[in-house]
Structure formats: structure tokens, C-alpha cells
A and B are shown apart, each in its own frame.
Chain A
Amino acid sequence: MNETLKLAITLMVISVFSAAALAVVYEKTYPIIQANKVGKLNNALKEVLPAEHYEEFKLDVVNAERSFKAFDKDDNQTGLIVLSPAPGFQSVIKVLIGIDTKTKTVTNIKILEHLETPGLGSRIEEPDFLGQFKQQGLEKQDFDAITGATISSKAVIDSVKETADEIIKLIEEGKI
């Protein structure tokens, strides 16, 4: 019994020190990590639809994983940004889509997250591809996919078209 007790105590002492050290490091880095996440999201929102401030809200639309309202400095709503999950080749591509409420067009899109094939599907992040969506209304139906990354790029295109359709419809119905 004595030996087992010694073993248990040794392990426990080490574990306690470990837990204490980790708790300290966690306390110190947690705020920075959170700030990084918020900063990353805010930067992304600004890229897609520049505005004074944003407000997250709940939108019960299939394609909208997260939704944000964009406001100018007079607190008028200028647009909406929707985070839409697009089923890609081998991952779920998170597309951030900005929509201007007044002109009812897609302002810009940004790929927030993806795990598509590096060098192939990952080309959906290229400016040439993304640039197609800048300031586009619903009339434009033809977008170019990327050679060698058909599934990834089509997933993004479909997602943008569907989401824009839904959101603009809701805007026209005055619902948002």
C-alpha cells in the first residue's frame, strides 16, 4: 500500500503543478485569443461590406449560419452580411456574403474557412475568382468556375447565388 500511495502522490503532485501552470497560461492568453477571433471576424466583415459597426442577429434561413446587420455612423442599416456554409469538395466552405440593402446587390464575398485541396480547390481564395462577385446584382447569372477546382468553385458560386436570392427576396418583402 505504501508504494502505491507514493506512486499516486507523485503523479498527483506533478498533475497539480501542471494544472496550475496551465491555468495561469490560459488566463493570460485567453483574452488575446478571443480578441484574435473577434478581430479576424471584424476584419472580414469590413472587407465584405465596409460599415461603421455591425450587429449579429438571428436569421432563420437555411443558408445563413450567422448573419450581421451593417450600420453607418447614423445608425442606418446599410446592408447585411451572411455567413453561408457551402458544401465543397472535401470540406464545408464558409463564405461571407455582403449584400447592400439599398441597391440589392452583392457587395463582395470572402472565404472565411475552408479545407479544400491546397493548390486546387484552395484557389477559390484567388482575387480573380472572388472579384467576380463584387457589386453584382441578381441579373448576373454566369460566373466562371476555376479549372481543376470545379466542385469547390461551383459550391461557392451556388452558395452565393442561392443566399443572395433568398436575402434579396426577404429585403424586398421588407422582412429585414
Chain B
Amino acid sequence: MLDIFAIFFAAVVTENFVFYRFLGLCPFLAMSNKTRTAVGMGIAVTFVLVISNAITWLLQHFVLDKLGLPFLQYASFILVIASLVQFIEMYMHKYQAALYKAFGIYLPLITTNCVVLGLVLLTILKSYNFLEALIFAIGTGIGYTLALIIMSGIRERLDLADVPEALKGIPLALIITGLLALAFGGFVGMIK
């Protein structure tokens, strides 16, 4: 039980995918200027993370391992993620119009979001069982959403500040991320 909590806590705080593993940065920098988009992106990512991890875990253990095809891992995993995102988008577009209007636009960006591929690869590397894989995915999603929300809160405030021209936009966002990474670094070592 404690193990699962450790995995969850690490994914959210101490080994946050954005601040510790440098993953998911492109959409993070692009989507974190407004809190509304941040939350939407975070929820969409979490959803994709959990389902992707479930499917790729099954794929790895029941197909790739059983048939001895480790070299197909990267290609098959990314295809799973891309197809999954495609299906979710199609489904939402047709059956959940309201939801699609809220989150639909973020979906295509999630395919190339390194968070997803990073998560599924790390899950296999860490030899998690199915339950641990799900918790890892949920934790990562929450951690990512948390990072997005913190970032958007700061950036919304900074919109009102007087920022030097050269620093506006991405440079400032990167510097803020760096400071946040420093802050999150303080959590490292909390879980033994």
C-alpha cells in the first residue's frame, strides 16, 4: 500500500514530469498562459495518460514480451497513443459535443506530448504491475495538471507586469519554470 502511495506522490511532486523529467514542455509552455486552458489541457492529458498506460502495458506483457519483439516497442507504443487520441477525438466530436468544445482542441497536441510516451516507456522500465501502472499514470496526470495550473496562475499575474521586450513570452516562461523546478526540487528525498 505504501509503495503505491510512494509512486503516486513521486509522480505528482518529487519526480514531477515537468520539473524533474523535462517532459511535456512544448504544450506546457504553449498552454499555460491562461488557467482555463491549463485545466482543460491537464484533464485531457490525464485521461490519455491513464488509458494509454493501460493499453501499452497489456501490449508489452501479452504481445511484445510473449512474442519476443522488443524492437517494435517504440513504434507500436506511439501508434497506440496516436490511434487512441484519434479515437477519443472522433468519439468526443460525435457523441460529446459539449465536452469536445471544451477539450477537443487539446487532443491532437497530446500525441506528440512527450509526457505520454515518456510515461508508457518508464512504466515498462520500472517493471510496474498493472495497478502500479494506473496509479503512476493518474499521479503523472495530476502532477502535470498541477504544474500547468501553478504556471498559468503566475503567468496571468505577469501579464500585468512590465516585462522587458526580449524576455516576453517563452524566455520568461522558461525562467519561471526553472524557479518552479528549484522549488519542487525541495521535495526530493521526502520519500525514502
Contacts and interface: CB of A to CB of B under 8 A. Distances in A.
B64 to A, nearest CB: 12
B66 interface: no
Interface stretch (B69-77, B134-142, B170-178): B69-77
A18 B189 contact: no
B71 A23 contact: yes
Contact of A19 (B14, B70, B72): B72
Contacts of B70: 26
A41 interface: no
Contacts of A18: 75
Of the candidates B71, B72, B192, the one having the most CB atoms from chain A within 10 angstroms of its own CB is B71
A18 B75 CA distance: 9
B183 interface: no
A17 B33 CA distance: 43
Interface string B10-25: 0000110000000000
Interface in B9-51: 14-15
Interface size class of chain A, counting residues whose CB lies under 8 Å from the partner chain: 10 to 19
Interface in B47-97: 70-72, 75
Contact of B189 (A19, A23, A89): A89
Most chain B Cβ neighbours within 10 Å, of A18, A25, A90: A90
Interface string B155-192: 00000000000000000000000000000000011001
Contacts of A23: 71
Contacts of A87: 192
A22 B75 contact: yes
Interface in A13-72: 15, 18-19, 22-23, 25-26
Contact of A90 (B14, B71, B75): B14
A151 interface: yes
Contacts of B188: 89-90, 117
Nearest to A11: B79
Interface string A83-98: 0000101100000000
The 7 closest A-B pairs by CB, nearest first: A26-B71, A22-B71, A89-B189, A90-B188, A87-B192, A18-B75, A151-B189
